[in-house]
Amino acid sequence: EPEVTQTPSHQVTQMGQEVILRCVPISNHLYFYWYRQILGQKVEFLVSFYNNEISEKSEIFDDQFSVERPDGSNFTLKIRSTKLEDSAMYFCASSAQGIHQETQYFGPGTRLLVL
Amino acid sequence: QQQVKQSPQSLIVQKGGIPIINCAYENTAFDYFPWYQQFPGKGPALLIAIRPDVSEKKEGRFTISFNKSAKQFSLHIMDSQPGDSATYFCAASGGYQLIWGAGTKLIIKP
């Protein structure tokens, strides 16, 4: 069964450093998403991406964040200058279509710890 | 108005019992309501989803009940098993993003 993969599984970084979280969505999917989950809290939407453009983003997704599809398979989330409060589990998801009734498939997540 | 409120925060049920998890929403533009199951260290996985044109949907042991007028929906797990122990999230969507409930940690005791 096809699945979304994410690397690394864990990332520890110093405050102020840049991090890049990587995702490989399911191959025939066209819509990609990033969510985050701070420990013990709810999952929060960050951004959705289609056709090399951001289609929707939340208030959390400020200028510190950027997304990119650098090639035909990878989808990345960059945090330019990490803050302590960026420590969270980051989930990538993909769907075949972007209509809201379409199932989003989630990767296993990257646990980011900012020290 | 974008919130989805989920309760209870945690739930312990004996094997074979029927845990019920409730969610309420405010935004009437929401028209897709999935439930996700998450095991420790894993990403959320879609369990079952419903649209507001039906009042109930059943898939295996999992049932969603939907009350459009009350803006509430709930998940019932029939004949619960220890393997169902996980965190369950309700969510709602009216566009690309999913708005998530806070999650319910469910423990099924053998």
What per-residue confidence (pLDDT) applies to A100? 55
Tell me whether A84 touches chain B (CB under 8 Å). no
Sign of the CA dihedral running B21, B33, B68, A40:
positive
Listed in order, strand segments (DSSP E) in chain B are 4-7, 10-14, 20-25, 33-38, 45-50, 56-59, 62-67, 72-77, 86-92, 99-100, 104-109
Chain A positions in Cβ-Cβ contact with residue B91 (cut-off 8 Å) = 43
Angstroms from A97 CA to nearest CA on chain B: 10
pLDDT at A96: 86
User: Is it the case that residue A101 has pLDDT exceeding 90?
Assistant: no
pLDDT for A98 equals 62
Report pLDDT digits (tens) over A41-87. Answer: 889 999 999 989 999 999 999 999 999 998 878 999 999 999 999 99
**Share of residues in chain A with pLDDT > 90 (%):** 73
Residue in chain B lying closest to A56 (CA): B96
Q: Which of B41, B89, B95 sits opposite A43 (nearest CB)?
A: B89
Selection from B76, B87, B39 nearest residue A42 by Cα: B87
For position A99, what pLDDT does the model report?
60
What pLDDT sits at residue B97?
A: 80
Q: Which residues pair with B83 in a beta bridge?
A: none
Contacts of B96 in chain A (CB under 8 A): 31, 33, 48, 55-56, 98, 100
Look up residue A86 and give its DSSP letter.
Answer: G
Each residue's pLDDT tens digit, A34-49:
999 998 788 999 999 9
* pLDDT under 70: residue ranges of chain B: 1
User: Does the CA dihedral A104-B38-A3-B62 come out positive or negative?
Assistant: negative
Assess contact for A114 and A87: CB atoms under 8 A: yes
| Chain B interface disruption, residue of A43, A94, A106, most B CBs within 10 A | A43
